[in-house]
Amino acid sequence: MQWCMSETITLFRTKPSRYLSHLIGHEGPGSLLAALRSKGWAHELGADDVSKSFREFSVFTVEIELTM
In sequence order, the 6+-apart residues with CB closer than 8 A to the CB of 2 are 59, 60, 61, 62
Residues 32 and 28: their CA atoms lie apart, in Å, by 9
What's the predicted TM-score (pTM) here? 0.74
In angstroms, what CA-CA distances link 9 with 2, 23, 28, 56? 21, 23, 32, 7
Residue pLDDT, tens place only, 39-58 = 999 999 999 876 655 667 77
Specify the pLDDT at position 33: 95
pLDDT given for residue 35 in this prediction:
96
